[in-house]
Amino acid sequence: MNTQIKFTSAEEAVKVIKSNDHVHLSSVASAPQCLIKAMCERGENREFEHVHIHHLHTEGPAPYSEPRFEGIFQLDSFFVGGNVRKNTQCGAADYIPVFLSETQKLYRSGVLPCNVAMIQVCPPDKHGYVSLGTSVDATLAAVECADTVIAVVNKYVPRAFGDAFIHVSDIDIFVEDDTPLMQGHITEPSEIECAIGRNCAELIEDGACLQMGIGAIPNAVLSQLGGHKNLGIHTEMFADGVLPLVESGVVNGANKAIDKGKMVSTFLMGSQKVYDFIDNNPGVAMMDVKYTNDPFIIAKNPKVTAINSALQIDITGQVCADSVGTVFYSGVGGQVDFMYGASRSEGGKAILAMPAATNKGISKIAPVLTSGAGVVTTRSHLHWIVTEYGAVNVYGKTLQERARLIISIAHPDHREELERAALERYGSHYHYIRKTMIL
């Protein structure tokens, strides 16, 4: 098949964007920076107005979110990354609360229009197929629904398998740019994070199917799993910490009920080693987020162990991972998808892991959530909670029992204060609970 395609410049490509359009950007490492730059240059020249930008977490500059573009661009993101957090917090940009599993539904259901999808892909194969590489997530849905698809063809985009393939006939405008993808690098975990990692690792059984994100705590957990057997991966994302476990045979997917032997993810962020690992690797399936994050699909695998983090937990078990008060975090993301999916899995474990206190010594376990805090995981969804001081399972416990359990893994400097708050909230019967519960 003749796969010759005609390239144009980024500046010419973004001329299709017009006032009031909705534009989707591919995610994380695949954010098409040359198109973003060209689009913002048009914005600076005031060639359009009220252009809505949508995306999940992206790496690299995001100038369209800046206050100077008020009335020209409106960022309404599905997930708030560090590059747009300040501008979202000050009101220059906004955020759509949505489960990660349903980001694709916003487009496919027509709740959000998609006039222009701006993506990155690998060069076409001899059959005319390109791969979305590190960003399938809601990007595939955007491609399906967009009036116009602009693709940056980049030799550094890995040729990923799964749902990542689209045909060149699905693309309207091609731009060539061989800028290497943004990379994320592992940071050394602190002593506290290592302690949390050990406590989480003790809950992970041989044959478990793991979900965990990127960051110091997931890496600390993964570093403790060298002695485990037959682990699997079904997650929204993974990073470098998984690779040594694959190389040693610890992660082999042998116990998975679906996608046996394969690692399943929907987007990636890591070093070049991660991108090289998924390139032409049929053992990795980069799937539509509708598949990776559907709780009922997640639950088909046995022993699903989901490890997620939080900003704050109150003593009843309400979990904040999304705050519009003094701190703006990342949004709902996939936490609820996987916490619920893991809890429905045979032998599954839904784990919420976090330090007991902030770097400034403020307790992350509170009598009540801070005003303005968004409840992401409800007390009804919460099972295991892990800090550096231990792990407790609050599933099936009364409010008073779970208060006692949660306080037991709080920072010691704050436990007395939390006990007083629990006593004030629940009355004298809490004394009985505190004395008789076996922790």
Query: Strand pairing partners for 350?
Result: 306
DSSP annotation of 231 reads B
What tokens does 436 get? 């008789």
| E-strand stretches of 122-224 | 129-131, 148-153, 161-162, 165-167, 173-176, 209-212
What tokens does 180 get? 């290497």
Rounded distance between C-alpha atoms, residue 229 and residue 370, angstroms:
41
- Candidates 303, 306, 325, 313; CA nearest to 377 is 313
CA-CA distances (angstroms) from residue 350 to 204, 310, 326, 354? 11, 13, 28, 14
Q: Are 178 and 156 in contact (CB under 8 A)?
A: yes
- Catalogue the active-site residues: 236
N-terminal to C-terminal alpha carbon distance within the chain? 67
Q: Given the structure tokens 């997931």, which residue do they identify?
A: 218
Residues shown for the chain: 439
Distance of CA 405 to the CA centre of its chain: 28
Q: Are 364 and 358 in contact (CB under 8 A)?
A: yes
| Pairing, β 165-167 against β 129-131 | antiparallel
- Candidates 307, 92, 113; CA nearest to 199 is 307
